[in-house]
Amino acid sequence: MTPSLAGSARALLARDFRLLWRRRGDALQPALFALLVVVLFGLALGGEADALAGSASAVLWVAVLLAGLLGLDTLFRGDAEDGSLEQWMLAPVPLAWLVAVRTFSHWLATVVPLVIATPLLGELLHLPKAELPVLLASLALGTPLLSLLGAVVAALTVGMRRSGILVALLALPLYVPVLVFGAGSVAAHAQGLDPVGALLLLGAGLALALVLAPLAAAAAIRIALS
């Protein structure tokens, strides 16, 4: 009985959700971090509606991006340390497929709670109501793209003990276009322009990344663990 793509995906998703359930508390950490960032910005900017409303969408985007960056550490580290990643490399299913499924379950677990919390966080920053739908759309398209790009960076640094700031440094240039089009779409909408162009670009990037990022990350894992 050799595993099919669907079968191995099912097994990996089942495993990841069981692990997530056993460590439910950890799953909320990115959302908590984003909340912290938002609170700090609110405090630093003085808490007045006018001062906050203008930068609210940008601050939220940065908070989600940073929280996702922190969460990137848990994408492959656990599996690398206990030898599971090795077994993935030896499996008859393509490593890129396993990486894609793993990135998906990681995104669901760490980022989706963030995006769900966004309206609440938006309230803290007096985000104009009209901007919320565009913000959510940009996050829905942008965060999986960030996860996929982040997977490549996480894969490159998977063997390392203390990667720390290095992961952030490596990910930053790759994240810039996503941030630009993501936060930019909301800014465009706020200026009265059509955000659809930017959102479509995010969508196109996501479509490309869905195919290319797992392949790149798989190659990077093999390089990093050799």
Partner 1 sequence: MNPLVLWFHKLGSPPWFDRFAARWAPWAFLAGALVMGVGLWGALFEVPADYQQGDSFRILYIHVPSAWMSMAVFGIMAIQAAIALVWRIKLCEVLAMACAPIGAAFTVITLLTGSIWGKPMWGTWWDWDPRLTTELILLFLYLGVMGLYNAIDDRRAAARAAGFLAIVGVVLLPVIRYSVVWWNSLHQGQTIRVFGESSMDPSMAWPLWWRVIGTKFWFVGSLLLRARADNLRREAGKAWVARLATGSERPHPAAGREPAR
Partner 2 sequence: MSPDDSRPTPLLEAHALGFSRNEEPVFGPLDFAVDSGEALLVQGGNGAGKTTLLRVLAGLLPADAGDVTIDGIRADRERRAHAIAYLGHLPGLKADLSVLENLHFLCGLHGRRRGQSPEAALGIVGLAGYEDALARQLSAGQKKRLSLARLWLSPAPLWLLDEPYANLDLEGIELVNRMVQAHLRGRGAALVTTHGAYAAPPVRTRLLQLESRR
Interface ranges with partner 2 (CB under 8 A): 1-3, 7-8, 10-12, 14-15, 18-19, 22-23, 78, 81-84, 86-93, 98, 225-226
Cβ–Cβ under 8 Å, residues 31 and 113: yes
Shortest separation between residue 201's beta carbon and partner 1, angstroms: 8
Cβ–Cβ under 8 Å, residues 91 and 221: no
**Quick one: 33 or 88, whose CB is closer to partner 2?**
88
Q: Is residue 187 at the binding interface for partner 1, with CB under 8 A as the rule?
A: yes
Distance CA 114, CA 70 (A): 13
Q: Tell me the C-alpha to C-alpha distance, in Å, between residue 172 and each of 42, 74, 79, 175, 207.
A: 24, 18, 24, 5, 20
Cβ partners under 8 Å of residue 32, min gap 6: none
Cβ–Cβ under 8 Å, residues 182 and 202: yes
**Quick one: 12 or 141, whose CB is closer to partner 1?**
141
**Quick one: 74 or 185, whose CB is closer to partner 1?**
185
Neighbours of 142 (CB within 10 A): 31
- Say which entry of partner 1, partner 2, none residue 159 contacts (CB below 5 to 8 A, set by partner kind): partner 1
Element (H, E) at 105: helix 95-106
**Tokens 């609110």 belong to residue:** 42
Shortest separation between residue 22's beta carbon and partner 2, angstroms: 4
**Quick one: 144 or 214, whose CB is closer to partner 2?**
214
Cβ–Cβ under 8 Å, residues 11 and 100: no
Which of the residues 143 through 182 are near partner 1 (CB under 8 A)? 152, 156-157, 159-160, 163, 166, 169-170, 172-174, 176-177, 180-181
Interface positions with partner 1 (CB under 8 A): 152, 156-157, 159-160, 163, 166, 169-170, 172-174, 176-177, 180-181, 184, 187-188, 191, 193, 198, 205, 216, 219-220, 223-224, 226
